[in-house]
């Protein structure tokens, strides 16, 4: 079943939102952050058809609420609203745009706990991880509020007599942001804050599994005073809305985070209109451990790099390579730590592993485990599931014939490979269509320089796991994507260069 089919299956018949009582929203201190509507041109809207998409809590399968199932027509209206808002937004002085973005940032921080609750309800991740994501997502709004004032051009030395040459950056126009469910808030702010700072207006189409985080951000943008039409959110089954956004001539840039498969499809669609396309796609990170490191530190790092967001993370360590001299000791300690991870509802104290998002995610984990077992892998812990909860799993003795060597698992299954030398591990790590991130653990400075240069990825973490944040250019090479998010480079995704050559008379 494809994503769009699964969402379509949850679309319910034309009905009134008033007939649907939300579950779990009583946890919110500010209940107006639960917004079961789309947000277009500064108005909270239902679908013309009355159709709804049900949103469920993956921890217990209960419906937590519904959002309108908008279609092509409403997506078009959102683009037109964003286009109408573009002229005045672009005309604001940068410090005025910065002030509004700062106000949005303050609103997000002031309601961080509620935003985290909404996220755990619809995404299932442990509440402390949701809190972390809200802070992480907010940091992009703050960073780009600051960057709004530092969008600079160039004045090349003229190669022609009597000419003043300037190159400036201009906002591209309306930007469509299409985001996944694994980071329901930060993937929106990382895109939208950069686009807004550049002077663009935005239409967000959040994943149908996690629309409430996006809608709460819209509510807070409105409270912060962002003008109508500057930030729009269109909810519903993906295909018609996303197709309209990618094909509409007024949308000048598309920023997508999701699977490589859908990313390629959108690139083909966008090519017809020569759109600016930025793509943050799948990852298959190698995690390489040499014997000169502290074993317990490496084990703790592998735990972090693999199991955050229950393994549903594009940065997840999908191929753990451990030097043959220490691999037995490593897997024994690693499996012990993994077996002790606490699984459960993200609202329970101490929970470290939440539910997966879909049954197809559970099926993929189970298939990777079964395939590895059949090919000689040893399952040291886990390998079983209960509903959407998949027990964190360690596969020892993984090799390159296994599906898990080629495919992103996107779940809590850790495969440990062993290697003998540097050349072998570099060749294996690079033997992938993906190239988002890599992790390297060694104390040998020369080796760090050689391997970071040799790895074909957009990002490398050396002797650490946490590497992302607002100032860095996040993104991959190969089939992990195009373009960068975060840092100064992100502004480039949403601006065009304009060169002006002005003749002047000599005195």
- Which residues are known to be catalytic? 280, 314
For the bound state, the minimum distance from the C-beta of residue 453 to ligand NAP, rounded and expressed in Å, comes to 22
For the bound state, the minimum distance from the C-beta of residue 317 to ligand NAP, rounded and expressed in Å, comes to 13
Residues 107-166 that bind ligand NAP (CB under 6 A): none
Please report where in the chains the tokens 């299954």 appear, as a residue: 413
User: Which listed residue (258, 286, 311, 392) binds ligand NAP by CB under 6 A?
Assistant: 258
Q: Which is nearer to ligand NAP, 60 or 259 (CB)?
A: 259
Q: Are strands 393-396 and 378-381 parallel, antiparallel or unpaired?
A: antiparallel
Stretch that binds ligand NAP, among 12-20, 180-188, 296-304, 335-343 (CB under 6 A): 180-188
CB atoms closer than 10 angstroms to residue 162? 10
Write the CB contacts of 189 (distance below 8 Å, at least 6 apart in sequence).
Answer: 108, 137, 138, 140, 141, 217
Q: Is 393 helix (H, G, I), strand (E, B) or coil?
A: strand
User: Which listed residue (259, 430, 452, 463) binds ligand NAP by CB under 6 A?
Assistant: 259
Q: Is 60 helix (H, G, I), strand (E, B) or coil?
A: coil
Q: How far apart are CA 506 and CA 353, in angstroms?
A: 72
Write the CB contacts of 442 (distance below 8 Å, at least 6 apart in sequence).
Answer: 288, 289, 290, 292, 293, 448, 451, 463
User: Which listed residue (180, 346, 377, 411) binds ligand NAP by CB under 6 A?
Assistant: 180
Stretch that binds ligand NAP, among 136-144, 234-242, 295-303, 339-347 (CB under 6 A): 234-242
Residues 431-460 that bind ligand NAP (CB under 6 A): 436
N-term to C-term CA, the chain? 73
For the bound state, the minimum distance from the C-beta of residue 109 to ligand NAP, rounded and expressed in Å, comes to 23
Q: Which is nearer to ligand NAP, 279 or 299 (CB)?
A: 279
Instruction: Give how far Cα 226 sits from Cα of 44, 137, 217, Å.
Output: 15, 18, 11
Chain-centroid distance of CA 135 in Å reads 15
Q: How many helices (H) and strands (E) does the chain have?
A: 16, 22
Q: Which is nearer to ligand NAP, 241 or 322 (CB)?
A: 241
Stretch that binds ligand NAP, among 78-86, 153-161, 277-285, 337-345 (CB under 6 A): 277-285
Site residue total, ligand NAP (CB under 6 A): 28
User: Which listed residue (209, 222, 352, 407) binds ligand NAP by CB under 6 A?
Assistant: 209
- Taking CB under 6 A as the rule, does residue 3 contact ligand NAP? yes
Q: Which is nearer to ligand NAP, 143 or 410 (CB)?
A: 410
Reported as half-sphere exposure (CB side, CA atoms, 13 A), residue 26 has a value of: 2
- Taking CB under 6 A as the rule, does residue 178 contact ligand NAP? yes
Q: How far apart are CA 410 and CA 271, in angstroms?
A: 29
Q: What is the enclosing helix (H) or strand (E) of 254?
A: strand 251-257
User: Which listed residue (408, 418, 482, 483) binds ligand NAP by CB under 6 A?
Assistant: 408
Q: Which chain residues interact with ligand NAP by CB under 6 A?
A: 3-4, 7, 178-183, 207-209, 238-239, 242, 257-259, 262, 280-283, 314, 408, 410, 436, 481
């Amino acid at each position: 079943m494809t994503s769009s089919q699964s969402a379509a299956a949850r679309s319910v018949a034309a009905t009134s939102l008033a007939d649907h009582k939300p579950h779990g929203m009583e946890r919110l201190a500010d209940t107006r952050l639960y917004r079961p509507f789309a947000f277009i041109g500064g108005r909270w809207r239902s679908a013309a058809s009355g159709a709804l998409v049900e949103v469920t809590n993956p921890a217990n399968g209960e419906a937590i609420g519904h959002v309108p199932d908008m279609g092509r027509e409403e997506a078009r209206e959102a683009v037109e609203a964003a286009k109408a808002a573009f002229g005045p937004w672009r005309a604001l002085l940068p410090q005025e745009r910065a002030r509004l973005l700062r106000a949005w940032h303050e609103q997000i921080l002031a309601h961080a706990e509620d935003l985290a609750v909404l996220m755990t309800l619809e995404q299932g991740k442990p509440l402390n991880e949701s809190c972390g994501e809200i802070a992480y997502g907010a940091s992009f709004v703050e960073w780009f509020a600051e960057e709004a004032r530092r969008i600079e051009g160039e004045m090349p030395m003229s190669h022609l007599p009597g000419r003043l040459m300037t190159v400036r950056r201009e906002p591209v126009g309306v930007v469509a942001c299409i985001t996944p469910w694994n980071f329901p808030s930060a993937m929106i702010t990382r895109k939208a804050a950069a686009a807004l700072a550049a002077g663009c207006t935005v239409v967000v189409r959040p994943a149908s599994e996690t629309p409430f985080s996006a809608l709460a951000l819209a509510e807070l943008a409105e409270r912060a005073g962002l003008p109508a039409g500057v930030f729009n959110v269109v909810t519903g089954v993906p295909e018609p809305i996303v197709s309209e956004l990618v094909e509409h001539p007024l949308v000048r840039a598309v920023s997508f985070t999701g699977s490589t498969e859908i990313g390629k499809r959108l690139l083909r669609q966008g090519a017809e209109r020569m759109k600016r396309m930025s793509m943050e796609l799948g990852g298959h990170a190698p995690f390489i451990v040499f014997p000169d490191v502290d074993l317990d530190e490496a084990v703790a790092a592998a735990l972090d790099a693999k199991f955050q967001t229950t393994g549903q993370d594009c940065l997840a360590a999908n191929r753990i390579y451990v030097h043959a001299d220490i691999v037995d000791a490593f897997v024994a300690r690693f499996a012990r730590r993994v077996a002790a991870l606490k699984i459960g509802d993200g609202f329970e104290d101490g929970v470290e592993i939440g539910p997966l998002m879909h049954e197809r995610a559970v099926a993929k984990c189970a298939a990777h485990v079964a395939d590895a077992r059949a090919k000689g892998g040893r399952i040291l812990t886990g390998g079983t599931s209960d509903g959407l909860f998949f027990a964190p799993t360690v596969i020892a003795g993984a090799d390159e014939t296994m599906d898990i060597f080629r495919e992103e698992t996107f779940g809590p299954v850790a495969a440990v490979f062993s290697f003998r030398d540097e050349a072998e591990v570099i060749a294996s790590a690079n033997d992938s269509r993906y190239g988002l991130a890599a992790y390297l653990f060694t104390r040998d400075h020369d080796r760090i320089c050689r391997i970071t240069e040799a790895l074909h990825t957009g990002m490398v973490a050396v002797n650490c796991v946490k590497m992302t944040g607002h100032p860095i250019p996040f993104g991959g090479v190969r089939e992990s994507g195009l373009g960068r998010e975060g840092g100064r480079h992100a502004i480039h995704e949403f601006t065009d260069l304009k060169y002006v050559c002005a003749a002047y008379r000599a005195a």
